[in-house]
């Protein structure tokens, strides 16, 4: 038996940052659905939350899981579910891009707290500002910025 604990902090936004998830009730429905759907697929969602235009999700990857497939299963199915249940007025879509950041065991609680407090966090900072900080802090380079 393999013993694996690999935490990844996933962050992704709605298509064009449209604030589709504009009420706490709607966000809770979506986050709960993502968590339940992930569980059915053997994906362990440790913590999930977000704001009107994006989602943060802390996942512990299993031995046979990879980042790309995990995101495909979560984002694709959740947008299908949102549209099938007509939870938004317009067609709902997630942005194709996402962040996947490794999380050390020593800071898992800090990441959970950060994810938990998204509503408070985004009273002070937009998702675009957060996005730009992540790009800078982690040294990402957008492909079209070479």
Domain ranges of the chain: 6-145
User: pLDDT, tens digit, for every residue of 26-53?
Assistant: 999 999 999 999 999 999 999 999 999 9
pLDDT the model gives residue 70: 97
The domain covering 6-145 belongs, at the CATH homologous superfamily level, to Transposase IS200-like (3.30.70.1290)
CA gap 64, 49 in Å, rounded: 25
Average pLDDT over residues 114-129: 92
* pTM, full prediction: 0.93
User: pLDDT, tens digit, for every residue of 94-121?
Assistant: 999 999 999 999 999 999 999 999 989 8
Collect all residues with Cβ–Cβ distance below 8 Å to 16 and sequence separation of at least 6.
Answer: 95
CA gap 49, 118 in Å, rounded: 7
Work out the mean pLDDT of the chain and round it to a whole number.
94
């Amino acid at each position: 038996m393999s013993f694996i604990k690999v935490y990844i902090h996933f962050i992704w936004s709605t298509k064009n940052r449209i604030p589709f998830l504009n009420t706490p009730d709607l966000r809770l429905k979506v986050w709960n659905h993502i968590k339940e759907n992930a569980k059915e697929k053997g994906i362990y969602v440790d913590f999930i939350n977000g704001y009107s235009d994006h989602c943060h999700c802390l996942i512990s990857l299993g031995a046979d899981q990879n980042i790309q497939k995990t995101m495909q299963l979560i984002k694709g199915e959740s947008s299908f579910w949102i549209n099938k249940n007509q939870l938004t007025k317009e067609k709902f879509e997630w942005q194709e891009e996402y962040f996947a950041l490794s999380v050390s065991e020593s800071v898992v609680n800090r990441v959970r707290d950060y994810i938990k407090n998204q509503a408070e966090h985004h009273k002070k900072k937009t998702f675009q500002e957060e996005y730009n900080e992540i790009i800078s802090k982690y040294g990402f380079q957008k492909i079209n910025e070479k």
